[in-house]
């Protein structure tokens, strides 16, 4: 039987949380870029900053990092575009969000709370837990 509080298990859990936090901002930005393009036909720096509640300079700094990481294409005076890698990241983030959101609703959480909670959980949930959330959601809804 595993020791519940071993140093190695704690270190692995903290490492996983640090990794999730480091990708959380990138996932939120690429997901929002994709959503803005789908909704309005373009994604502009000011729109991103407004939606995220950050200063345009902050959004610009994050976009520069995402550009270096190959997730977005940013050119002066043009709309921000997602690269193929950015689109894959945005799609995966949206799918995780949907699964967590649906699971919380199936548990009886209100829509507003489910939306807010899913926004945080989606970045930290493991693939195993996500799979179980999806399976349990089906059972809770009676879809099985």
pLDDT on residue 2: 54
18 to 15, 22, 23, 31: CA distances (angstroms) = 5, 6, 9, 20
pLDDT on residue 140: 92
pLDDT on residue 78: 85
Q: How do residues 15-25 score in pLDDT, each as one tens digit?
A: 777 666 668 88
pLDDT on residue 47: 94
pLDDT on residue 20: 61
DSSP 8-state code for residue 41: S
pLDDT on residue 144: 62
* pTM: predicted TM-score of the whole model, two decimal places: 0.80
Q: Which of 106, 117, 105 is nearest to 139 (CA)?
A: 106
Q: Which of 126, 136, 134, 142 is nearest to 98 (CA)?
A: 134
CA atoms within 13 Å, Cβ hemisphere of 31: 19
Please answer whether residues 16 and 6 qualify as being in contact, where contact means their C-beta atoms are separated by less than 8 angstroms: no
Q: How do residues 28-61 score in pLDDT, each as one tens digit?
A: 999 999 999 999 999 999 999 999 999 999 999 9
């Amino acid at each position: 039987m595993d020791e519940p509080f071993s140093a190695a298990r704690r270190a692995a859990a903290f490492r996983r949380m640090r990794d999730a936090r480091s990708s959380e901002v990138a996932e939120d930005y690429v997901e929002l870029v994709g959503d803005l393009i789908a909704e309005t036909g373009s994604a502009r720096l000011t729109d991103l900053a407004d939606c995220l509640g950050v200063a345009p300079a902050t959004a610009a700094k994050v976009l520069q990092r995402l550009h270096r990481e190959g997730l977005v294409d940013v050119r002066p005076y043009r709309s921000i575009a997602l690269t193929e890698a950015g689109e894959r990241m945005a799609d995966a983030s949206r799918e995780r969000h949907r699964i967590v959101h649906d699971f919380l609703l199936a548990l009886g959480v209100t829509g507003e709370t489910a939306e807010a909670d899913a926004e945080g959980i989606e970045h930290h949930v493991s693939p195993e837990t996500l799979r179980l959330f999806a399976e349990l959601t089906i059972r809770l809804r009676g879809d099985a």
